[in-house]
Structure 1
Amino acid sequence: MIWIIGLFIFSVFLSAFFSGTETGFYRVTRIRLVLDALDGRFMAKFLLFLTNHPALFVATTLIGNNLANYLVSLSIVLAAGALFPGNSTVELLLPTLLAPLLFVYGESLPKSLFFHAPNTLLLRGSPLFFLCAILFAPFAAVLWVLGQALQWLLGESPTQVRLQLARKELVDVLEEGGEAGLLNAAQRRLAQGLFAVANQSVGALAAPITKNQVAILGAEKKTALVYAKKNKISAMPVAKQGADKGDLIGYVRTCDLILAPEDAIQSYRMLPVVAGSDTQIAALLRMQSSGESMAVVKARDGKTLGIVTLDQLMRPILYSES
């Protein structure tokens, strides 16, 4: 009977460990792991490896939780058979009576502890998880292959998971920095805005030329100024008279039109070209370094995707609510 009790306690411990580790893994600060790994801590390097290969962590945790649940059920059935042999009613009632105990100590409590102290508890429990990862490696490999096949069929990538985890970590770090007084509200919003658009392509933001008012070289500037004032725009693309609307030669700023002594549009600024696959941050830096407030966005095949302005690139960064 003693070994049955020992099996029950061990299985509850395994359930608590894998349940808590799962929560701690998604709460741990990756920056902390990187710093510990640079200090030469092997377990920090192991956890950092898992964050870059989440499929291995998920497979190990899944096998561990299922093993713990099986051992809990086995120990309860063995205990019922030893205490009340041949009584099927007890075998049904005993798991029901023990369910609240298993839920509190095998699921709820460890998850709460790892939620509030993920870095400390995850590092302390990493040697056991490392041992389990080695023992479960043959079975985890099968799950990993199935996961890769599913990702191939559905077109999903683990990179998306890593990016979501990384962004959540950065947001948490910024919030903690704000609470500690290291960042004020404006600085935190600016940093969050940068993270929000860091991986978004400029091609998705570009407005098609058909939706832009194109100024004609040599035309009266009065019409262009009326349109700019009505729509509150600071610049518009320029094309030659009689040319196709998509054949742009540059752009003109509203302030330059106002200050120019001529009644017609005679001069224009060069229109820089950015690739549609470039990130919004890269396009913003390029436009700021060149001093231009408008750029044309083109695909790899040279096809024009649209026009993007400096205001369009700055707005999601300065006014981000994420």
Structure 2
Amino acid sequence: MELAIWWTLMLVALTASSCFSGVEVGCYTLNRVRLDLRAGRTSRPDRAARVLKRELEQPDRLLAALLIGNNIVNYVGALAMTTLLESGGRTPGEVAVITTLVLTPVLFVFGEALPKELFRVEADSLTYRFARVLSGMRIVLTLTGVLPLARMMSRAIEVAAGLKAEHISDARQRVAALLKEGAGQGELSEAQVSLVDRALVFGRVRVSDEMVRWAKVRSVPLECSRVQAMRAIGSVSHARIPVVNKAGVVVGVLHQADLHTRPDQSVAQLMTPPVRVKAQTPARDALLAIRRARTGVAIVEDASGRPVGLVTIKDLIEPLTGEIADL
């Protein structure tokens, strides 16, 4: 009778270990859009989806509960097998060898590899079935104090090591996760995923990353004639050129086309007020400023107001679109 109990414990522990491992992967690969739709449904409410969504709102707590549960059942399985071997007259050395050669591969194959692959493929059908079990286990581990203690120790280690807490709820991370999921399921093309990946990174791009250094920028003097201006900018690729006074201060921007279409006006009359941005201005803000002013370019200045570069709309959108050929 006692042996039957230990055999049962070992089989239950192996089954539970496979479930914990599978659910962990299922929670990672679950389609979050479908989960939100199922959890928000008012007609025929999906309680399993609501429970699962609530657990996934605190992923660090969920992961800790799964790992603790998996460790507990693995220990029970090892204890049951050790007891069965000792009851069969095996020596401690033989027990250690058999446990290593038998239990470890069995746990790896049936408790880790197979269930993880199964839940990865069938996450949207299998994970919901374990939602209530997952919630119940988390509640038990919380009431017994095991889960709060483990999380407290984890935070203490993070603080001691100077690590920054990662928040899965961050909007950009959620969008990135959804994109990877869409790409994996063939819903999005590689080009689409690449574009949105660049859009997510675009928020960190600064004007200084994309501008043309002032030393490479061709400018024209405010006092020069039309002929001198046309000669000075004849080989310049930019359509708009900064106009500077005798002190080297940028006082305007000259459009090359205006020199040819408005022959009766001087450089001072043709130039338009410059848009000025700081080198550390986010590229997105600079792009909006240029579009509002309809100038096509902006003069990049340092903190003291000294020009350090020039940036065009083309320069600012290339981090999103990739290299754009000059026309």
Q: TM-score range by the shorter chain?
A: 0.7 to 0.9
Native 8 Å contact 1:205 1:308 kept in 2: no
Query: In the superposition, relative to structure 1, how do residues 5 and 227 fare at CA in structure 2: closer, same or farther (>3 Å)?
Result: farther
Are 2:144 and 1:142 aligned? no
Amino acid at match of 1:98: L
Counterpart secondary structure, 1:228:
coil
Deviation readout 1:10-60 (Å, 9 max, x if unpaired)? 211222122122222221222222222222544434444454433212222
TM-score, normalising length from structure 1?
0.76
Counterpart secondary structure, 2:271:
coil
User: Which residue in the other structure is 1:31 paired with?
Assistant: 33
Amino acid at match of 1:110: P
Are 2:89 and 1:89 aligned? no
Query: In the superposition, relative to structure 1, how do residues 7 and 201 fare at CA in structure 2: closer, same or farther (>3 Å)?
Result: same
| Range moving further from structure 2, 9-18 or 83-92 | 83-92
Greater Rg, structure 1 or structure 2?
2
Are 2:206 and 1:202 aligned? yes
Counterpart secondary structure, 2:253:
strand
Counterpart secondary structure, 1:242:
coil
Query: In the superposition, relative to structure 1, how do residues 281 and 13 fare at CA in structure 2: closer, same or farther (>3 Å)?
Result: farther
**Shift, 1:127, TM fit:** 1.4
**Shift, 1:275, TM fit:** 7.3
**Shift, 1:128, TM fit:** 1.3
Native 8 Å contact 2:214 2:308 kept in 1: no
Query: 1:75-154 counterparts in 2 under 5 A?
Result: 75-84=80-89, 86=91, 88-137=93-142, 138-152=145-159, 153-154=161-162
Deviation readout 1:59-81 (Å, 9 max, x if unpaired)? 22221222122122111111112
CA distance in 2, matches of 1:196, 1:61: 32
Query: In the superposition, relative to structure 1, how do residues 82 and 171 fare at CA in structure 2: closer, same or farther (>3 Å)?
Result: same
Deviation readout 1:203-260 (Å, 9 max, x if unpaired)? 563537545516243344246524523xxx344444433145xxx4443444445545
Counterpart secondary structure, 1:136:
helix
Are 2:14 and 1:12 aligned? yes
Query: In the superposition, relative to structure 1, how do residues 155 and 251 fare at CA in structure 2: closer, same or farther (>3 Å)?
Result: farther
Native 8 Å contact 1:295 1:307 kept in 2: yes
Native 8 Å contact 1:250 1:269 kept in 2: yes
Query: In the superposition, relative to structure 1, how do residues 300 and 50 fare at CA in structure 2: closer, same or farther (>3 Å)?
Result: farther
| Range moving further from structure 2, 286-295 or 51-60 | 286-295
User: Which residue in the other structure is 2:318 paired with?
Assistant: 315
TM-score, normalising length from structure 2?
0.75
Amino acid at match of 1:205: D
CA distance in 2, matches of 1:213, 1:289: 23
Q: How many residues align?
A: 309
CA distance in 1, matches of 2:95, 2:180: 51
Native 8 Å contact 1:225 1:257 kept in 2: no
Query: In the superposition, relative to structure 1, how do residues 52 and 103 fare at CA in structure 2: closer, same or farther (>3 Å)?
Result: same
Q: Which runs of 5+ in 1 are unaligned?
A: none
Native 8 Å contact 1:218 1:264 kept in 2: no
Counterpart secondary structure, 2:106:
helix
CA distance in 2, matches of 1:235, 1:196: 28
CA distance in 1, matches of 2:184, 2:242: 41
User: Which residue in the other structure is 2:233 paired with?
Assistant: 225
Counterpart secondary structure, 1:308:
strand
Are 2:160 and 1:157 aligned? no
Counterpart secondary structure, 1:205:
helix
Native 8 Å contact 1:235 1:293 kept in 2: yes
Amino acid at match of 1:121: L
CA distance in 2, matches of 1:302, 1:102: 66
Counterpart secondary structure, 2:311:
strand
The RMSD of aligned alpha carbons is: 3.7
**Shift, 1:112, TM fit:** 0.3
Counterpart secondary structure, 2:167:
helix
Query: In the superposition, relative to structure 1, how do residues 121 and 89 fare at CA in structure 2: closer, same or farther (>3 Å)?
Result: same
Native 8 Å contact 2:283 2:316 kept in 1: yes
Native 8 Å contact 2:31 2:124 kept in 1: yes
Amino acid at match of 1:21: V
CA distance in 2, matches of 1:58, 1:304: 52
CA distance in 2, matches of 1:80, 1:69: 17
Native 8 Å contact 1:20 1:113 kept in 2: yes
Identity of aligned residues (%): 22
**Shift, 1:133, TM fit:** 1.6
Counterpart secondary structure, 1:158:
coil
